[in-house]
A and B are shown apart, each in its own frame.
Chain A
Amino acid sequence: MSMMSKVRRRIPGRTSQAHRKVTVPEMLAGAVVLFLVAAVAFPAALAPFDPLAINPADGFQGPSLEHWFGTDESGRDIYSRVIFGARPSLLIGAVATAIGIGLALVLGSLAGLGGKALDFGVGRLLEVLFALPGLLLALVFIAIAGPGVVTSTVAVGLSTAPGYARIIRGQIIQVRGSGMVEAAVVLGRTRWQIVRRHLLPNALSPVFVIATLGLGQAVVWASSLSFLGLGEPPPAAEWGAMLAAGRTYLTTAWWMTFFPGLFIVFTAAASTVLGRGLQRRMVR
C-alpha cells in the first residue's frame, strides 16, 4: 500500500490533477446552482408572470410556449411560481442546515471537549434523537410548537443536528489526540488557544463539506413538511406547498406536481454532486 501510494504520487495527472478536474456532472450541477441562485436573487427577471396573479379562464393549461410548465387551477403560471418558489424553499433549507450545524457545534464541542461525563450525557441524548427518524422528529417538534414557516425550519434544523453533532464530536476527538495539539502544548499554548486555533477549524472544515450534502436533504424535508401543510400556507409559491396543491389534480394536470417536484430533485441532486466533489478534493 505504502509503496503504491508512493508510486502514484509520481504519476502526473493521476491523483493530484485528475482529482481536481471538474467532471461533467459537476459542471451540470454548477449550472443548476447558478440558475437557482439567480432565481433566488432576481426572480422577477426570470419569471414572465406574476406568481400570484389569478386568471381562472386560463386554468389547467398544459405546458405550452406561453406557459412553459402549464398553469394551475386558478390559471397561475407554474414556471413563474417555481422560480419565485426558489427563495422560500432554499431559504428554509439553508436556514435549517445552519440551525442544525449551530446546534451540533454546541453539542459536539460539549461532548468532545467537556470531559467524560458530558461526553456520556450528550452521547446518550444523541442516541435517543437518532432512534427517531429525522422527519418524525421534525413532526414531533411541530406537534408541540404548532405549524408555520419558522417552526418547520427549526424542526428540520433540529432533526439534522444529531448527525452533524456526531461528526463534529468525532473530528474534535481525532484532532485532540493528534501530533499538532501535542506540539502546541509543548510550545506552551493554553487550552483555549489550542481549541480556537487548531481544534475547531480542523474539526469544522469537513463538516461544511458534509453540510453541502445535507442542504439538499434539508430542502427535501422542508418541502415534505410544506406538502403536509405544516409549512408555508397557500397560496405561497413554495415547492412543497405547490406539490400539495397539485396532488388533487395529479391524474388530470400532472404538470402541477411534476415541475415543482423536478426542481426539488434538481436542487438535491446538484448539492449532492457538488458536496461529493468537494469531499473528494478535501480528502486529497
Chain B
Amino acid sequence: MRADVLLQVDDLTVGFGAGPVVKGVSFSVEAGQCLALVGESGSGKSVTARALMGLAGDTAEVSAGAMNLSGASLKDLSPRQWRSVRGQEIGFVQQDALVSLDPLRTVGREIDDALRLRTKLSRSDRQARVLKLLNDVGMDDPALRAGQRSGELSGGLRQRALIASAVALNPALIIADEPTTALDATVQAQVLELLESLRDAGTGLLLISHDLAVVSRIAQHVAVMSGGRIVEQGPTAAVLGDPQHEYTKQLLKAVPSGHPRGTRLSAEKLHVRDRAVLPKPLTRPDSGPVLEANNLTKTFPTSNGLFTAVDNVSFTLAAGSTLGLVGESGSGKTTVARMALGLTDPDDGDVRLFGEPWSGISEKERRGRRPLIGAVYQDPLSSFDPRMTVEQILVDAVSGGKTVRAGAHRDDVRRLLDMVGLPGAVASRGPRNLSGGQRQRVAIARALAPEPRIVMCDEPASSLDVSIQAQVLDLLDELQRELGLSYLFISHDLGVVRHMSDHVAVMQRGRIVEQGGSEQIFTAPEHPYTQRLLEASPRLVLS
C-alpha cells in the first residue's frame, strides 16, 4: 500500500437479505485526489458510499477484504466508533441540503454542533471557527448567514452550508453524494469550484455522481458502476476519452451536449411499429406560427410588493419546430409555460393559438381547443391520478373525460402505448409500479391521446438517469418527426435544450435576454448572461 493512499477498499460486498447490491467492489482514494463513482440509479454507488460511513442500515450485510481509512480498518466498528469516524475522519455531503439540514436550527448552530461535540474549543473560539468556515465556503456575509435557517437560504447557499458543516472538523476524506444535482448551472459551477479547492488543499474526495460532465471536471479517477460492480476504472481522461466497456460507451453516448440535433442518443432503436395505425398528421396551417406570445407580463403579489415573474416576453413557435426555453430556477420559465397552456392569464400582452386569441378568454371558450396543446411535466407521477391504472389514464385521455364502459378504447390504448415504445402489459399497472422512464412515456402517450399539434414539455427528462433521459429525448424527437408536432421545450439543462431545439430563448429574471437559432445561441452567444450560462454549464472536458 502506498503511503498517500487515504481510503483503500477491497472486495466490498453489501447485501440486504436477498442477494448483494454491491458485489465485490475495490477502489482507493488518495489524499488531494478525487475518485468519482459513476453510475445510474440502482447501480449501487450510493450504497457503497453509505457502507463506508457505517450508514448502510441495520439490515445490511457488509463484508470486505479490506476497508482502511488512513491505515486504520473500518471493518466491524461499533456504532460508537462509527460516530467518531463520521465527521472527524469522513465528511459527508448529501444531495439535498434542504432535508439534510435541520429546518428549525440556524446554520451556525448546525455547524457549531460538530465542534461542540468533538473539540475542546471555547464558545467564542467555536463562533470564530464557524464564521471562518462559512467564509471559506464562499458565503458572502458569514455573520448574517450563521443566524439564518436552511429554509431562508437559496439552494446554492444551503449546499455551501452543508459542505461547511462537513469540513468543520477537517476530515481527511469527503464523500459527496450527488452534491450538485439539484442546482442551477451557475450555482453548480460555484459548488464544484469549492469542492475542487478542498481537494487541492489535500482532502481526499469520493464523488458519487451520474453526471459525466461534472465528473470530467473534477475527478482524476473514475470508477464506473453498473449492477453493483465496477465495470471499468482508471484515470478520468482514459476512461471517458477511450472507454473500453460497453456500458461506459453507452453512458457517454447518452450525454446530449455535443451531439447535434437529430442524432440518436440511446442505443436502443425505438420502433414505431406500423405507420398505418398512427394518427394522421392534421393539415398544417400554411407556415403560420402555431403559438405566439406577445409582450407577456405577469406579476404576483408578495409581502414586499409586486414580483414581476414574467416581463415583456414575446416569442413565436413555428409549425413542426421546437422552441427551447432556457433559464435557471426562478427565471419565469414555468410561468410562461402556464400562460402558453392557458392555465394563467397574463396581466399584459396576449397569447395566440393558431392565430386566434388563447389568453383573456373564458375557460369555456378555451376548452374546445384544448386538444390542440398537450403537456408533459417533469414529475409525471404527480400528474397522474394515483387511483387509476395506465389503461384508465389513457382511456380517460382518449375519451375526452366521458364515462365509458370497461374495455372501451382498448385499441387506442394499445396504439398509444405502442407509439411510445411500451409493452401492452403495462396497461394494467398503476403508474407507481412503473420506472421513471416508463412513467414519462405514459405521460407522453397521454399528452398525445387527443392528437395535439403542440406539446409543452416542462423539464421532461430532468429527473431521469442519463441513459433513460436519452431514450425519452429520442422518443420525443422521433414523435415530432412522425407527427409533425411543435414543441415548446423548457429546461435548465443547456445540453438538452441544444439537442432538442431549432430556436432558443434564454430567460433571466422574467425577461428573454436573447433568442435566436439554436446553433447561433450556443456557438456565438451575444448577451453576457447567455455567455455566463454557457460557461458554467458542465461539459465533458477531457484534458
Say yes or no: A198 contacts B94, CB within 8 Å.
no
Q: What residue of chain A has the Cβ atom nearest to residue B15's Cβ?
A: A11
A140 within 8 A of B: no
Please count how many residues in chain A sit with their CB below 8 Å of the partner chain's CB atoms: 29
Interface flags for A9-34 (1: CB within 8 Å of B; 0: not) read: 01111100000000000000000000
Q: Which residues of A contact B387 (CB under 8 A)?
A: 201-202, 205
Stretch with Cβ within 8 A of A (4 or more), from B41-49, B74-82, B475-483: B41-49
Q: Which residues of A contact B202 (CB under 8 A)?
A: none
Known contacts A6-B41, A187-B446; 13 additional CB pairs below 8 A are A3-B46, A10-B42, A11-B59, A12-B17, A179-B382, A180-B382, A185-B343, A186-B370, A186-B373, A188-B371, A189-B401, A201-B387, A202-B385
Say yes or no: A12 contacts B16, CB within 8 Å.
yes
Say yes or no: A180 contacts B47, CB within 8 Å.
no
Given contacts A3-B46, A187-B370, A201-B387, contact A182 B17 (CB under 8 A): no
* A-to-B contact residues, CB < 8 Å: 1-3, 6-8, 10-14, 178-180, 182-190, 193, 197-198, 201-202, 205
Say yes or no: A188 contacts B370, CB within 8 Å.
yes
B231 within 8 A of A: no
> How far does the alpha carbon of A37 sit from the alpha carbon of B94 in the complex, in Å?
52
Count of CB-CB pairs between chains A and B under 8 Å: 89
> How far does the alpha carbon of A6 sit from the alpha carbon of B21 in the complex, in Å?
12
Please count how many residues in chain B sit with their CB below 8 Å of the partner chain's CB atoms: 43
Given contacts A3-B94, A7-B47, A188-B371, contact A198 B16 (CB under 8 A): no
> How far does the alpha carbon of A63 sit from the alpha carbon of B42 in the complex, in Å?
63
Say yes or no: A11 contacts B17, CB within 8 Å.
yes
Q: Which residues of B contact A8 (CB under 8 A)?
A: 57
CB distance from A86 to the nearest CB of B (A): 34
Say yes or no: A198 contacts B385, CB within 8 Å.
yes
> How far does the alpha carbon of A260 sit from the alpha carbon of B526 in the complex, in Å?
85
Say yes or no: B397 contacts A187, CB within 8 Å.
yes
Say yes or no: A186 contacts B50, CB within 8 Å.
no
Say yes or no: B383 contacts A179, CB within 8 Å.
yes
Q: Which residues of B contact A201 (CB under 8 A)?
A: 385, 387
Q: Which residues of B contact A3 (CB under 8 A)?
A: 46, 50, 94-95, 177
B18 within 8 A of A: yes
Say yes or no: B450 contacts A188, CB within 8 Å.
yes
CB distance from A204 to the nearest CB of B (A): 11
Interface flags for B369-389 (1: CB within 8 Å of A; 0: not) read: 011011101010011111100
Of the A-B pairs whose beta carbons lie under 8 Å apart in the complex, a sample of 29, sorted by A's number, is: A3-B95, A3-B177, A7-B50, A8-B57, A10-B42, A11-B16, A12-B16, A12-B18, A178-B382, A179-B377, A182-B343, A182-B383, A183-B375, A183-B377, A183-B384, A184-B401, A185-B343, A186-B341, A186-B370, A186-B373, A186-B374, A187-B374, A188-B366, A188-B367, A189-B401, A190-B401, A197-B385, A202-B385, A205-B387
